[in-house]
Structure 1
Amino acid sequence: MLELAILGLLLESPMHGYELRKRLTGLLGAFRAFSYGSLYPTLRRMQADGLIDEASAPAGVKVRRGRRVYQLTEKGRTRFNELVADTGPQNYTDDGFGVHLAFFSRTPAVARMRILEGRRRQVEERREGLRELVTRATRASDRYTRQLHELSLESSEREVRWLNELIAAEHTLPDASPQQGRDGTEETPEPPEPAALDTAPVPQNSPAVTHVPGSSDVRGPREKEGEPDHG
């Protein structure tokens, strides 16, 4: 899952290792204990695999001498798209689900739904196991163990409700899968062409000319054209 997280962050912009470490801590901190010792070996492996390479620092970003700036390669973008579309059971775990959720905006709609449903099944199984543990602790009059299990049970029940809401929201999205370009970023579908506007002139209804006795300004149509009035 660390590989997916690195690819997803580098998809946004090139970063040096220290910046990646800070971003990963913020990204994964809520779901797992991030090991700093695993970052640089993973970066070296990904570079050897051709998923990332070194780049010049982005404009306006100062980098200390000796710090390497990493960027995605075309192979790395392809790998990212493969990983976010993966719906295997490893993506339902605490670690796997947390990383995938962080990149759901770049995940196909079908994959999002399968991952959410898979995660819900896993948490529901955990919830049932915790209910059994609470019952056993109650029978054994083990107050503190029961309270510990009740705390975990409450967390599982809350997550199931939350997942139900996410899944219901996914059902309301009309084919909400983002289109991904070659660089892995979302491509917004072109809006339909607006209907052609009718630019033909709208006929205006001229008010009727009323002859006012004694007025020399009111003339008939033939007089307006300069023709003599034979009447």
Structure 2
Amino acid sequence: MLELSILGFLAEEPLHGYELKERIKALTGHVRPVSDGALYPAITRLVGAGLLDQRTEPGASAAPRRILALTGKGREELLERLRRPKQTEITDHVRFNTVLAFLRHLPDRHEQAAVLRRRLDFLETPASFFYESGKPVRAEETDDLFRQGMLRVARATGEAERAWLREAIALLEQPV
């Protein structure tokens, strides 16, 4: 997801490493913090693969800054990752939000809708945090106040997300 975030933010504009890190932190940092020890090796891999270009320019004070930009090959890689997200990028809420943050870069509305449909299909499969005899436990079926809270919040969040996904898919599938 770190690489997708890097490619996605650089599709919007060239950035230096610190700006890029701050944008990634704003997107997922409260849940999955990004460290320099993860970010800069990822940037180096992407530069080595020809997905990013880097140039040095004078810094605001004295130190030069490394500016990163997406290459044509990097844009194609971003689009491919958005067209065909891994299953964990559909099922994991934080990972899906990262895909969602950059899905607008995918130019084909039907491809965008297909990604949203995969998430909707996943969310429509009955699931729970807790199971009894292989059956999902609903909030009304437990006496545990805290588990009830977890299950009720998850249900409300899921209902809201499914409603939005249905609206967005219908909009994307309308003739232009």
Larger C-alpha radius of gyration, 1 or 2?
1
Q: 1:154 aligns with which of 152, 155, 159?
A: 152
Aligned pair in 2 of structure 1 residues 160, 134: CA closer, same or farther (>3 Å)? closer
For normalisation by structure 2, the TM-score amounts to 0.78
Aligned to 1:77: 75
Q: Which amino acid aligns with 1:28?
A: T
Classify the secondary structure of the residue corresponding to 2:60.
Answer: coil
Q: Which amino acid aligns with 1:62?
A: A
Aligned to 2:137: 132
Classify the secondary structure of the residue corresponding to 1:165.
Answer: helix
- Output the CA distance in 1 between the equivalents of 2:47 and 2:166: 40
Alignment check: 8 A CA contact 2:123 2:162 kept: no
Q: Which amino acid aligns with 1:71?
A: A
Q: Deviations over 1:117-150 (max 9, x none)?
A: 3333444557444451757752xxxxxxx23322
How many residues in Structure 1 have an aligned counterpart in Structure 2? 166
More strand by share: 2
Shift of 1:41: 0.9
Which consecutive residues of structure 1, in runs of 5 or more, have no partner in the other structure?
139-145, 177-231
Structure 1 window deviating more from structure 2 (119-128 vs 103-112): it is 119-128
Alignment check: 8 A CA contact 1:14 1:72 kept: yes
For normalisation by structure 1, the TM-score amounts to 0.61
Shift of 1:49: 0.9
Alignment check: 8 A CA contact 2:56 2:65 kept: no
Aligned pair in 2 of structure 1 residues 127, 3: CA closer, same or farther (>3 Å)? same
Aligned CA-pair RMSD: 2.8
Classify the secondary structure of the residue corresponding to 1:101.
Answer: helix
- Output the CA distance in 2 between the equivalents of 1:156 and 1:45: 37
- Output the CA distance in 2 between the equivalents of 1:159 and 1:112: 22
- Output the CA distance in 2 between the equivalents of 1:160 and 1:88: 21
Alignment check: 8 A CA contact 1:50 1:76 kept: yes
Aligned to 2:33: 34
- Please list, as runs of the form range in 1=range in 2, the aligned pairs for 1:78-157 lying within 5 A after superposition: 78-92=76-90, 93-107=92-106, 108-125=108-125, 127-130=127-130, 132=137, 134=139, 137-138=142-143, 146-157=144-155
- Please list, as runs of the form range in 1=range in 2, the aligned pairs for 1:1-231 lying within 5 A after superposition: 1-29=1-29, 32-36=31-35, 37-57=37-57, 62=60, 64-92=62-90, 93-107=92-106, 108-125=108-125, 127-130=127-130, 132=137, 134=139, 137-138=142-143, 146-169=144-167, 170-173=169-172, 174-175=174-175
